[in-house]
Amino acid sequence: MSDARTDSDTSIAEPRRAAGSTLSAFLASPVATALLALCFVLALGLLFSGDGAFHKWATHRDALRQASVYGILACGMTFVIITAGIDLSVGSVLALVAVMFSTLSIHEAWPPWLAVPACLALGGACGAASGLVVAKWRIQPFIVTLAMMVFARGLAKTISGGMKVSTAMQLPDGSWTAAPVPGIFRLIDSRLLGDNVSFVSLVFLACIALSWVILSRLRWGRYLYAIGGNEEAARLSGVPVAAMKIMAYALAGLFAAVAGLCQAAQEQQGDPEAGVGYELTAIAIVVIGGTSLMGGRGGIGLTLLGTLTIGYLDKILSVNAVPEASRLMLTGVIIIAAVLLQRRKN
């Protein structure tokens, strides 16, 4: 009889989960929903394959490559959003780092083992600065990172003199010459495994792996979830709330710096106007994946699925030669549809 079960189970609020099988529990989870959204987009790709382009591996390789920079930004964004914050500055930090990296590598001829850490430190410092203001002075993250967004953009323009930092160099006599593309740029922009995988895609996957370790296997990650879920309870349990928040924003800045390195290498220049609006794409990816903007819920696996969804959507629309105007409108509709799908179970 069912009496025995009732005795051992006192949950009234949501007994479905308690009583349901493992399969139905999985189907109700955000991962299943995010997978569903991705499958839907992939099915669209099979249906409208752009004269068979979708059946070629090169298309997938490029889709992944193009999504990688956004995906890397989204990794950092995931940390911040899990703490119930937001970081609007990642697009500007990307541009700042791209400019810095190009200046150091091309003009100052810094070796990569110096230039790369310097750029990562710059990005991390921008994030940590935002985090410090958010955590210590308790100003809303939206405002703080909006300020950092403007500031970093300005700094990028200051360093670059408002111009793209490229391999084109003016000699003292006024004539122009092209400096060689730095080796590190060529490495980042290369393809591996017989031309089948882009280097930046591997960087993206490494970022996902690192983020997964932090969020799921380290104490820090647990603290981030606790802060996003209930900051007061976390504080009273001895969680170092301020330090953890600073870390989350610093990680967002660090990942923005990684994205900036990739961007600079792919474009072979540092454009101070790069990355405008990228923060919004990164937020869209996190949200489509199913990580809650309210904080405390979600994860990096969801961000991976969100990245693939957005990346493939964009690729499918472009191989089918859908004009950009329609692409933007469609993307907007799909973001809402995906979020509605996620909310169904919550």
Partner 1 sequence: MSDPARSASRAAPLLQMSGICKRFGSQRVLRDVDFDLRAGEVHVLAGENGAGKSTLMRILGGALAADGGTIEIEGGPVRFRRPRDAAHHRIAIIHQELSLVASMSVADNLLLGREPGRLGWMDRAASAARARRVLERVGLRLDPHGPAGALPISAQQLVEIAKALALDARIIVMDEPTSALSEPEARRLFERIADLRSQGCGIIYITHRLEEIYALADRITVLRDGKLVATRRAADLPAGELVRLMVGRSIGDQAPRRAPAAGDVILNVRRCTVRGAASGRRPVAEGISLSVRRGEILGLVGLEDSGVSKTLWAIFGALGSRADVEMEIDGRRRHVASPRQAIEAGLALVTNDRRKSGLVLGMDVVENATLAALPRFSRRGWLDRRAELERTALSANELNLRCASLRQSVATLSGGNQQKVVLARWMMAGPRILLLDDPTRGVDVGAKHEIYFLMNEWSRQGCGIILTSSEWPELLQVSDRIMVMHRGRVAASFRGGQATPADLLRAAMGHATNE
Question: Binding residues for partner 1, per CB under 8 A?
Answer: 2-3, 5-20, 217-220, 222-223, 225-226, 228-230, 232-240, 296-297
Nearer to partner 1, 8 or 170 (CB): 8
Min dist. Cβ of residue 242 to partner 1 (A)? 10
Q: Is 279 exposed, middle or buried (0-12, 13-18, 19+ CB in 10 A)?
A: buried
Q: Is 171 exposed, middle or buried (0-12, 13-18, 19+ CB in 10 A)?
A: exposed
Nearer to partner 1, 272 or 296 (CB): 296
Min dist. Cβ of residue 227 to partner 1 (A)? 9
Min dist. Cβ of residue 345 to partner 1 (A)? 13
Q: Which residues of 308-341 are buried (b: 16+ CB within 10 A; e: fewer)?
A: bbbbbbbbbbbbbebeeeebeeeeeebbeebbeb
Nearer to partner 1, 50 or 289 (CB): 289
Nearer to partner 1, 216 or 326 (CB): 216
Q: Which residues of 246-278 are buried (b: 16+ CB within 10 A; e: fewer)?
A: bbbbbbbbbbbbbbbbbbbbbbebbbbebbeeb
Could you give the CA distance from residue 307 to residue 204 in angstroms, rounded to a whole number? 10
Could you give the CA distance from residue 187 to residue 15 in angstroms, rounded to a whole number? 54
Min dist. Cβ of residue 200 to partner 1 (A)? 29
Q: How many CB atoms lie within 10 A of CB 192?
A: 12
Min dist. Cβ of residue 19 to partner 1 (A)? 4
Nearer to partner 1, 91 or 296 (CB): 296
Could you give the CA distance from residue 248 to residue 110 in angstroms, rounded to a whole number? 29
Min dist. Cβ of residue 293 to partner 1 (A)? 13
Q: Tell which residue, 18, 39, 41, has the closest CA to residue 330.
A: 41
Nearer to partner 1, 19 or 109 (CB): 19
